[in-house]
């Protein structure tokens, strides 16, 4: 698993505006905080770098985000999520996110880096089975 220090903003310059990075700051129960939110994503999520999930997400979304972070870090492998946005009046957007685990300096899985893409919602007829099945964790094997 790569370390967070293996990447610099220069390495990610072509996609940096679409990157999120969050860190597990406590375990049992897990708590996360935002370390980086790309500029194109702040238009959707707001400027939340340095804040916790509990401070920034709707209360009914926190458990889902924590569970996703835990699945990625505990599983030690990337996951792709496809779905709909339910945040701050942006319900007209579809989301496609690739999240990868990153280790800290001691090689402990601690960070999750995501490449996020948001597009206007497509009709149900335009959604392919490949996109729907890709959101199932076991489908990545």
Encode pLDDT of 82-102 as tens digits: 877 766 666 667 878 899 999
Whether 9 is covered by a domain: the verdict is no
Query: Residue 119: phi, psi to the nearest 5?
Result: -135, 155
pLDDT confidence band for 122 (50 / 70 / 90): low
> What is the pLDDT at residue 116?
85
Q: b/e per residue, 2-15, with b = 16+ CB within 10 A?
A: eebeeeeeeebeee
What pTM was estimated for this model as a whole?
0.78
Query: Residue 86: phi, psi to the nearest 5?
Result: -130, 65
Whether 39 is covered by a domain: the verdict is yes
CATH code for the domain in which residue 68 is found = 3.30.450.20
C-alpha span between 116 and 19 (Å, rounded): 6
Whether 7 is covered by a domain: the verdict is no
Q: Identify the weakest region by mean pLDDT among 18-22, 110-114, 123-127.
A: 123-127
Whether 122 is covered by a domain: the verdict is yes
Provide the domain count of the chain. 1
Average pLDDT of the residues in 121-128: 60
Whether 11 is covered by a domain: the verdict is no
High-pLDDT (> 90) share of the chain, % = 50
C-alpha span between 94 and 139 (Å, rounded): 20
Domain boundaries, position 55: 16-136
Which carries the bigger pLDDT value, residue 69 or residue 136?
Answer: 69
Whether 6 is covered by a domain: the verdict is no
Whether 32 is covered by a domain: the verdict is yes
pLDDT at 119 over 50: yes
Per-residue pLDDT tens over the stretch 67-86? 999 999 999 999 998 877 76
Which carries the bigger pLDDT value, residue 16 or residue 119?
Answer: 16
């Amino acid at each position: 698993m790569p370390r967070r220090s293996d990447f610099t903003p220069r390495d990610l310059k072509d996609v940096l505006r679409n990157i999120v990075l969050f860190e597990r700051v406590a375990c049992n129960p897990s708590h996360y905080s935002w370390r980086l939110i790309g500029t194109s994503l702040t238009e959707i999520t707001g400027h939340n770098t340095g804040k916790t999930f509990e401070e920034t997400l709707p209360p009914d979304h926190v458990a889902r985000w924590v569970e996703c972070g835990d699945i990625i870090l505990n599983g030690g492998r990337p996951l792709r999520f496809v779905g709909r946005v339910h945040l701050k009046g942006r319900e007209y957007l579809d989301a496609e996110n690739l999240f990868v685990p990153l280790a800290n300096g001691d090689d402990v899985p601690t960070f999750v880096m995501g490449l996020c893409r948001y597009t206007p919602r497509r009709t149900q007829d335009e959604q392919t089975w490949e996109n729907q099945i890709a959101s199932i964790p076991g489908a990545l094997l």
